[in-house]
Amino acid sequence: MSASRLLACLPLFVFAATASAASLSAREQKIAAAVDADPARSVALLQRLVEQNSGTYNLPGVEAVARMLTPEFEALGFRVRWKPMRQTARAGHLVASHAGSGKGKRLLLIGHLDTVFEPDSPFKGFRREGQHAIGPGVGDDKGGDVVMLAALRAMQAAGTLRDADIEVVLTGDEEDVGSPLASARADLIAAGKRADVALDFENLAQEDGHDMGSIARRSANVWTLTARGKSGHSSTIFSASAGDGAIFELARILDAFRNELPEPNLTFNVGLLGGGQQATFDAGKSHLTASGKDNIIPPIAVASGDFRTLSAEQTKRVRGKMQAIVARHLAQTDAVLEIEEHYPPMAPTAGSRALLAQLNAVNRDLGFAEMGELDPLKRGAGDIAFVAADVDGLVGMGVAGEGAHAPGESADLDSIPRQAKRAAILMSRLALTPR
């Protein structure tokens, strides 16, 4: 090769060699060392959090968890506020803010204080089995809160927290959002509008033992269907005067939902149904009472369920299709469909994929395997979706584990330092990235 051709190729060669030899900066090495030096503190905090019941409806318990976490954030220089939310029949939210240089990306860290396990749940306490911790909320999301704090402590130890602009919102009702929704999520939505990046510290997703990156969450929409018909003797059913009855109308609608609604990234479920001479839901729509006779055409039938979508456009389209199906009534029947949008979707974006690429650069520099993009069908709804319209983000920065929302819920303690290093180095780099 001629000297001129060699010189022409040299910049590409140097770039490739530099990229393949990428490593942690001196401060990032301090971050990793600080995380490795502090595992017992994280596990001890996790145990204390798990042993305090904080089921969503245990308002004093949720507030007690917030009181445990408040000094942890204050020791790192955060200004901490407790935002009571009794107007939504929930405990409240912990909001903490750290003022940095104002030059880098503004970060929003999201977690929650509550669990699905109320005080009357038989699943209680905290126990270890080797490197696995078992207890209510150990993974969802008390383990995530512990990872968040471990990462921030490591940043403080390395000096990268000083210039970072960070806001933390730990909601007290993630498992069952209070009402009205606009009040329940006002603080989180406002924080999202101030942020440049959002990081969700719920469970780390894994597939076949490999850590996965998540850039999307689907919505959670609840529907209630009430069908009505003319009551009368069963011998007259399907006649022009009596019609088809409420239960057949309900069955028609549900069958049409099953056959006409399916599309990519949509799931649809019927959770509860009944009909007869009488059929009524309780206030929470978790119990149903129905009565009737086999020789009476039922005048009422009810059902409830949910559907989950990946985008606001998909939610709107599915709502329209459902309403159109309901409107095609059988003879002498009527039906009304009510839909409540509890959690919006977090659709994948180019910005969120770029964040995952930055996280994978951190993985390479740490010597960790790169994280593939998780199929959003494998991720439920979550709080980060409330800010997804305003800011790009990553999901699943918390602990790995199994059995979330079920007795025996567990967390992999080995994932705490791994996730804390990833989060701390990613946040440190973002804090140095101009807005």
Q: DSSP per residue over 41-53, as a string?
A: HHHHHHHHHHHS-
Residue 128 CA: distances (Å) to CA of 135, 217, 380, 412: 9, 31, 27, 10
* Spans of the chain, pLDDT less than 70: 1-22
176-230 pLDDT, tens digit per residue, is 999 999 999 999 999 999 999 999 999 999 999 999 999 999 999 999 999 999 9
Last residue of a domain, one of 343, 369, 399: 343
DSSP one-letter code for 175: S
pLDDT number for residue 38? 86
Question: How many other CB atoms sit within 10 Å of the CB of residue 387?
Answer: 26
Structure tokens at 129: 């089995």
Q: CATH no. for residue 427?
A: 3.40.630.10
pLDDT number for residue 212? 98
pLDDT number for residue 286? 84
Q: Which amino acid is at 407?
A: P
> At 361, is the secondary structure helix, strand, or coil?
helix
Its domain, for residue 86, covers 22-217+346-431
Q: Is residue 206 part of a domain?
A: yes
Domain count, the chain: 2
* pTM, to two decimals: 0.88
Largest CA distance in the chain: 100
Measured over the CA atoms of residue 310, residue 315, residue 316 and residue 319, the dihedral's sign is: positive
pLDDT number for residue 22? 53
**18 exposure class (CB count in 10 Å sphere: 0-12, 13-18, 19+):** exposed
pLDDT number for residue 284? 80
Q: CATH no. for residue 333?
A: 3.30.70.360
Q: Which amino acid is at 289?
A: T
71-113 pLDDT, tens digit per residue, is 999 999 999 999 999 999 999 999 999 999 999 999 999 999 9
Last residue of a domain, one of 279, 309, 343: 343
